[in-house]
Homo-oligomer: A and B are copies of this chain.
Amino acid sequence: MSSQETKLALRSFVAERDWGQFHSPENLIKSIAIESGELLERVQWGGQSDSEEIRSELADVLTYAYLLADRMGWEPDEIVLEKLQTTREKYPVDKAKGTSAKYDQL
Contacts and interface: CB of A to CB of B under 8 A. Distances in A.
Interface string A66-80: 101100101011011
A93 to B, nearest CB: 5
Interface residues of A, number: 70
Main secondary structure of the interface of A (DSSP, over half): helix
Contacts of A91: 17
Nearest to A24: B46
B38 A59 contact: no
Contacts of A59: 79-80, 82-83
A97 B44 contact: no
A37 B38 CA distance: 7
A43 B63 contact: no
